[in-house]
Amino acid sequence: MHPPAPDAPILFFDSGLGGLTVLGPTRALLPTAPIVYAADYAGLPYGKKSDEELAARVPALLGRLVERYQPRLAVIACNTASTIALGHVRAALDLPIVGTVPAIKPAAEMTKSGVIGVLGTEATVRQPYVDDLSARFAGGKTVLRHGSPGLVTGAEAKLRGEAIDPEVIARAVAGLRDQPGGEAIDVVVLACTHFPLLKDELQAGFGPGVALIDGAEGIARRIAHLTEGQRWPATAAPGIAVFTCSDDRLPPPLAALAPYGIGSIETI
């Protein structure tokens, strides 16, 4: 295989704007990397979809995007899509694929009380993948899970500059705290890439005794490692955002994406 051309982009993929929380730390490590940020707005929220639907939808859509933008590497910046479809995507596409999976391992290393919370989408928290991670890395600890679709809507609203319903944060916190043993939670894994966008609100909700962690920095390091030695442009060019759209779901204003180095929006 030829080494990628300097202008070959990194493709980020999510159902919505959550993947920006992975794009941010990646840009910090690779400041001139060309970026294509794809959001499947027509399919948002993934957390409400069946495993079968996502296992078919995500590889098909990524296949179209890879054909169109010829990336050097693709990042599934979505826990729901990764825990369900990573294997299918890797089998279907011939380029390096980086996934996003719940940061249960570092949480297990960090907890002192032995009780960890996992906050994700409804689809992610029911995955056997999460059972496997818990069994492998959090043996002897208690892992409590809660699926919160409201936080996805809240994160999208925040980036569009809209107010967040405080009830949404309260319900997500109670979803973990009110389970048996939940009062002892001292680490919460933000297992949806949308949720770090609400980190301040969630931190206030859980209180100062709870650490919130996500996998974004680790994913950024993995991307930098996999592209080590490759050539990049000398200066950064504005990134492109690509949205699938439906009648009731239109792309956000460019101003919401500009802080992440995005300079234009396309629809497919």
Query: How near is the Cβ of 171 to ligand DGL at its closest, in Å?
Result: 16
Site membership for ligand DGL, residue 18 (CB under 6 A):
yes
Write out 100-120 in H/E/C secondary structure.
Answer: CCCCHHHHHHHCCCCEEEEEE
Are 76 and 89 spatial neighbours (Cβ–Cβ below 8 Å)? yes
Residue 79, number of CB atoms within 10 A of its CB: 35
Q: Which is nearer to ligand DGL, 36 or 85 (CB)?
A: 85
Return the range that interacts with ligand DGL (CB under 6 A); candidates 8-16, 27-35, 179-187, 242-250: 8-16
Among 192, 210, 220, 241, binds ligand DGL (CB under 6 A): 192
- For residue 47, give the nearest of 118, 122, 100 by alpha carbon: 122
Return the range that interacts with ligand DGL (CB under 6 A); candidates 41-49, 88-96, 134-142, 242-250: 41-49
Choosing from 23, 30, 33, 78, the catalytic residue is 78
Radius of gyration of the chain (CA): 18
Site membership for ligand DGL, residue 194 (CB under 6 A):
yes
- For residue 211, give the nearest of 117, 90, 85 by alpha carbon: 117
Query: How near is the Cβ of 214 to ligand DGL at its closest, in Å?
Result: 10
**Residues pairing with 242 in the sheet:** 38, 266
Among 11, 44, 168, 257, binds ligand DGL (CB under 6 A): 44
Site membership for ligand DGL, residue 154 (CB under 6 A):
no
User: Annotated catalytic, 192?
Assistant: yes
Burial of 28-45, coded b for 16+ CB within 10 Å and e otherwise, reads eebeebbbbbbbbbbbbb
Helix (H, G, I), strand (E, B) or coil at 133: helix
Site membership for ligand DGL, residue 26 (CB under 6 A):
no
Site membership for ligand DGL, residue 124 (CB under 6 A):
yes
Site membership for ligand DGL, residue 45 (CB under 6 A):
yes
Return the range that interacts with ligand DGL (CB under 6 A); candidates 168-176, 186-194, 249-257, 259-267: 186-194
- For residue 66, give the nearest of 74, 58, 78 by alpha carbon: 74
Q: Active-site residue numbers? A: 78, 192
By CB under 6 A, name the binding residues for ligand DGL.
Answer: 14-16, 18, 44-47, 78-80, 121, 124, 152, 192-194
